[in-house]
């Protein structure tokens, strides 16, 4: 009997030990994900700055938008703006509480204290430094936002705006044999663009205290010759009349078929310049530099006929 | 009946229980190294990303004027973190807090800080402590702005919500990068524009070597 009691006690002890090991002392999960226990009141686990979990909001995937501070961060939404976007697709910040209806503001840059501008009720002189804006779509007059209220603009939006304004070259196609003329099957046809068409382009765009400079650097020229295509990593080399047959180029194409079945009996030839784009931000920057996706210039076209060289064989009579 | 074997098993079970209890804190998590230990936090568990930055010497890349600029900016950010810690630890959106954010943050970034603190007050959330900084170095140097990369870990942070402890995601306990962008306009002190530590929505955490 005593043995049975002992066995019962020991078994209970072992089972208890097993349960204590197998069942976590808390339902909070280890690892990178949120805890297992649900949040109360319809809230959801949200990651706070520093990586600490909190129950907040109305349910998301557990991350907060727009971290802007040390042990705290702020949301980057503007509830009164269209679609809640604090910056429009032109990089203009949503501006509120400056004395007029809210709008996306065009920035004219920083101004010092003592700057005079035309407000809704006449001229106004600033008493502190700020940033000059206009809301052209709403009203034509100007206003100055004090530095303490200066918006912080997403530099990527400004960078994209700058790219839209870059004066990309329209490729001027050159071939040898000459385009518009003809080339021959099996003959290396040189392809090139004039000097200067492969230069880098740069532009700076500013909104308030945020200034973004984009640089577009040409990386290659994509040639489409209808029969086939080739990518050249330079502008090519100009063929100059009188060059010897030993001269070489790093950009050429050799046709293998005649063009007589093409419209007008010619192959269309198109060239497009591809650019790699980077940006840097100065001033009030939410990030300091980055890359944008590759951009292509407009394409230009010409046409070239591809013919076959006729070989003439002359029979020489044997001399006796 | 010989009860030695059952006793031995029971003892083993109890010993195992005690050992398991010692290996778990009240949250069921593996205990973290104490803040003052020198244990390396080299990431061995996470196999998703190799550290991309380390504390290699950087001073040769900058002029002495740039280095001074960086040191002043870093000093200013460090001062902010010291002054702000009790504010975030209390979790109350006070006038004092609003003033501090205006002093140290640029433009609307200060409003967003205060909005964050107001939200914490509403949900009863606080964080005490400041991240452990392993190293700092500049990552961008402009004429009036710069960015600072710091390799940090969140082990000193203690989060709580309405009296209940809140855990830190494991990946933040290991060394990761925090980037601080700052601006200095003429006549103004250095001010913080953004601080990115990988916790914001859509942000990736970036590993660093100690």
Q: A31 pLDDT band (50/70/90 cuts)?
A: low
Of the candidates A287, A26, A158, A181, the residue with the CA atom closest to the CA atom of residue B149: A287
Q: Among B9, B112, B166, whose Cβ lies nearest the Cβ of A75? A: B112
B188 interfacial to chain A (CB closer than 8 Å): yes
Q: Do residues A147 and A155 make contact, with C-beta atoms less than 8 angstroms apart?
A: no
* Encoded tokens for B109: 């970034």
Rounded mean pLDDT of A147-163?
88
* pTM (whole model) above 0.90: no
Rounded mean pLDDT of B45-59?
66
| Contact (CB<8Å) A51/B84 | no
Q: What are the tens digits of pLDDT across the range A241-259?
A: 888 889 999 999 999 999 9
Output the pLDDT for position A82. 84
Maximum CA pair distance of chain A?
139
Output the pLDDT for position A258. 95
Q: Do residues B128 and B156 make contact, with C-beta atoms less than 8 angstroms apart?
A: no
State the smallest CA–CA distance between residue B31 and chain A in angstroms.
11
Of the candidates A35, A36, A41, A84, the residue with the CA atom closest to the CA atom of residue A59: A41
Rounded mean pLDDT of B113-133?
96
Output the pLDDT for position B30. 33
φ, ψ for residue B176, nearest 5 deg? -150, 165
Contacts of B131 in chain A (CB under 8 A): 50
B9 interfacial to chain A (CB closer than 8 Å): yes
Q: Between A156 and A108, whose confidence is greater?
A: A156
Residue A149 predicted with pLDDT over 90: no
Dihedral (Cα; A110, A68, B108, A215), 10-degree rounding: 30
| Contact (CB<8Å) B27/A25 | yes
| Contact (CB<8Å) B107/A26 | no
Which one of B2, B104, B116, B189 would you mutate to disrupt binding with A, by most A Cβ within 10 Å of its Cβ?
B116
Q: Between A53 and A178, whose confidence is greater?
A: A53
Contacts of A98 in chain B (CB under 8 A): none
Q: Among B16, B102, B123, whose Cβ lies nearest the Cβ of A54? A: B123
Please state whether B202 falls in left (phi above 0), alpha (psi between -120 and 50) or beta. Answer: left
* Encoded tokens for B121: 């007050």
Angle between helices B108-123 and B95-104 (to 10 degrees): 150
| Contact (CB<8Å) B112/A209 | no
β-bridge mates for residue B172, sequence order: none
Q: Do residues B166 and B125 make contact, with C-beta atoms less than 8 angstroms apart?
A: yes
Scanning every residue of chain B, which has its alpha carbon at the shortest distance from the alpha carbon of A12? B10
- Helix, strand, coil percentages (3-state) for chain A, rounded to 5, are 15, 35, 50
Q: A175 pLDDT band (50/70/90 cuts)?
A: very high
State the smallest CA–CA distance between residue A71 and chain B in angstroms.
7
φ, ψ for residue B81, nearest 5 deg? -65, -40
* Encoded tokens for B6: 């059952």
Output the pLDDT for position A8. 60
Which one of B12, B199, B203, B205 would you mutate to disrupt binding with A, by most A Cβ within 10 Å of its Cβ?
B199
Q: What are the tens digits of pLDDT across the range A72-118?
A: 333 456 778 888 888 887 778 888 756 667 888 888 888 999 999 88
Of the candidates B143, B156, B122, the residue with the CA atom closest to the CA atom of residue B186: B143
Output the pLDDT for position B43. 37
Q: A65 pLDDT band (50/70/90 cuts)?
A: very low
Residue A7 predicted with pLDDT over 80: no
Rounded mean pLDDT of A159-186?
90
Q: Between A175 and B25, whose confidence is greater?
A: A175
Contacts of A148 in chain B (CB under 8 A): 102, 107, 110
Most confident of the ranges A1-15, A125-139, A180-194, B145-159 = B145-159
Q: Do residues A91 and A207 make contact, with C-beta atoms less than 8 angstroms apart?
A: yes
Neighbours of A113 (CB within 10 A): 13
State the smallest CA–CA distance between residue A62 and chain B in angstroms.
8
Instruction: Name which of A3-7, B79-83, B129-133, B197-201 the model is least confident about.
Output: A3-7
Output the pLDDT for position A2. 59
Residue A320 predicted with pLDDT over 70: no
Q: A42 pLDDT band (50/70/90 cuts)?
A: confident
Rounded mean pLDDT of B156-166?
96
Q: Coil, strand or helix: which one is A238?
A: coil
Instruction: Name which of A32-36, A101-105, A209-213, A304-308 the model is least confident about.
Output: A101-105
Q: A71 pLDDT band (50/70/90 cuts)?
A: very low
Rounded mean pLDDT of A199-206?
92
| Contact (CB<8Å) B199/A63 | yes
Q: Between B158 and A241, whose confidence is greater?
A: B158
Q: Do residues B185 and A147 make contact, with C-beta atoms less than 8 angstroms apart?
A: yes
Output the pLDDT for position A195. 86
| Contact (CB<8Å) A69/B109 | yes
β-bridge mates for residue A111, sequence order: A130
Which one of B8, B169, B175, B197 would you mutate to disrupt binding with A, by most A Cβ within 10 Å of its Cβ?
B169
Of the candidates B35, B28, B48, B180, the residue with the CA atom closest to the CA atom of residue A37: B28
Instruction: Name which of A77-86, A156-165, A247-256, B29-38 the model is least confident about.
Output: B29-38
Dihedral (Cα; A194, A198, A199, A202), 10-degree rounding: 130
CA–CA gap between residue B90 and residue A162 (Å, rounded): 44
Q: Among B14, B27, B130, whose Cβ lies nearest the Cβ of A71? A: B130
Q: Do residues A183 and A200 make contact, with C-beta atoms less than 8 angstroms apart?
A: no
| Contact (CB<8Å) A20/B188 | no
Contacts of B150 in chain A (CB under 8 A): none
B71 interfacial to chain A (CB closer than 8 Å): no
Scanning every residue of chain A, which has its alpha carbon at the shortest distance from the alpha carbon of B6? A10
Of the candidates A249, A194, A260, A251, the residue with the CA atom closest to the CA atom of residue A227: A260
CA–CA gap between residue B126 and residue B33 (Å, rounded): 22
B194 interfacial to chain A (CB closer than 8 Å): yes
| Contact (CB<8Å) A47/B196 | no
Q: What are the tens digits of pLDDT across the range B166-206?
A: 999 999 999 999 999 999 988 889 999 999 999 987 788 99
Residue A60 predicted with pLDDT over 50: no
| Contact (CB<8Å) A50/B131 | yes
| Contact (CB<8Å) A282/B119 | no
Q: A154 pLDDT band (50/70/90 cuts)?
A: confident
């Amino acid at each position: 009997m005593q043995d049975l009691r002992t066995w019962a006690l020991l078994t209970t002890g072992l089972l208890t030990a097993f349960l204590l090991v197998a069942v976590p002392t808390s339902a909070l999960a280890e690892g990178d994900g949120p805890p297992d226990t649900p949040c109360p009141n319809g809230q959801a686990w949200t990651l706070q700055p520093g990586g600490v979990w909190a129950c907040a909001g109305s349910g998301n995937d557990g991350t907060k938008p727009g971290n802007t501070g040390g042990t705290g961060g702020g949301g980057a939404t503007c509830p009164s703006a269209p679609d809640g976007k604090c910056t429009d697709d032109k990089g203009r910040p949503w501006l509120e509480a400056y004395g007029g209806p809210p709008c996306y503001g065009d920035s004219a840059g920083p101004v010092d204290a003592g700057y005079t501008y035309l407000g809704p009720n006449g001229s106004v002189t600033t008493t502190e430094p700020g940033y000059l804006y206009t809301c052209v779509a709403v009203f034509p007059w100007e206003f100055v936002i004090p530095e303490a209220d200066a918006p912080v603009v997403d530099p990527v939006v400004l960078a994209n705006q700058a790219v839209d304004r870059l004066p990309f070259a329209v490729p001027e196609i050159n071939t040898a044999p000459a385009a518009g003329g003809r080339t021959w099957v099996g003959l290396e046809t040189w392809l090139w663009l004039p000097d200067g068409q492969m230069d880098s382009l740069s532009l700076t765009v500013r909104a308030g205290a945020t200034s973004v400079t984009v640089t577009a650097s040409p990386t290659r020229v994509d040639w489409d010759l209808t029969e086939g295509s080739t990518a050249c990593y330079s502008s090519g080399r100009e063929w100059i009349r009188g060059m010897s047959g030993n001269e070489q180029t790093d950009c050429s194409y050799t046709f293998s078929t005649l063009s007589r079945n093409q419209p007008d009996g010619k192959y269309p030839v198109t060239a497009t310049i591809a650019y790699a784009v980077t940006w840097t931000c100065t001033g009030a920057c939410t990030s300091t530099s980055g890359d944008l996706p590759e951009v292509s210039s407009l394409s230009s076209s010409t046409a070239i006929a591809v013919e076959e060289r006729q070989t003439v064989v002359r029979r020489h009579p044997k001399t006796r | 009946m010989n009860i030695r074997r059952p006793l031995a098993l029971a003892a083993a079970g109890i010993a195992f229980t005690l050992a398991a209890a010692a290996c778990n804190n009240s949250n069921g998590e593996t205990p973290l190294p104490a803040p003052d230990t020198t244990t390396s936090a080299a990431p061995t568990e996470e196999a998703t990303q190799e550290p991309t930055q380390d504390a290699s010497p950087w001073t040769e890349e900058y002029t002495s004027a740039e280095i001074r600029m960086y040191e002043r900016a870093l000093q200013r950010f460090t001062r902010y973190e010291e002054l702000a810690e009790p504010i975030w630890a209390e979790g109350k959106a006070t006038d004092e807090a609003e003033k501090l954010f205006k002093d140290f943050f640029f433009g609307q970034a200060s409003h967003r800080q205060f909005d964050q603190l107001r939200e914490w007050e509403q949900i009863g959330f606080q964080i005490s402590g400041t991240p452990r900084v392993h190293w700092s170095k500049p990552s961008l140097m402009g004429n009036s702005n710069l960015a600072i990369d710091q390799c940090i870990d969140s082990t000193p942070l203690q989060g709580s919500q309405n009296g209940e402890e809140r855990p830190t995601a494991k990946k933040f306990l290991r060394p990761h990068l925090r980037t601080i962008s700052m601006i200095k306009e003429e006549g103004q002190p250095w001010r913080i524009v953004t601080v990115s530590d990988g916790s914001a929505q859509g942000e990736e955490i970036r590993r660093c070597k100690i």
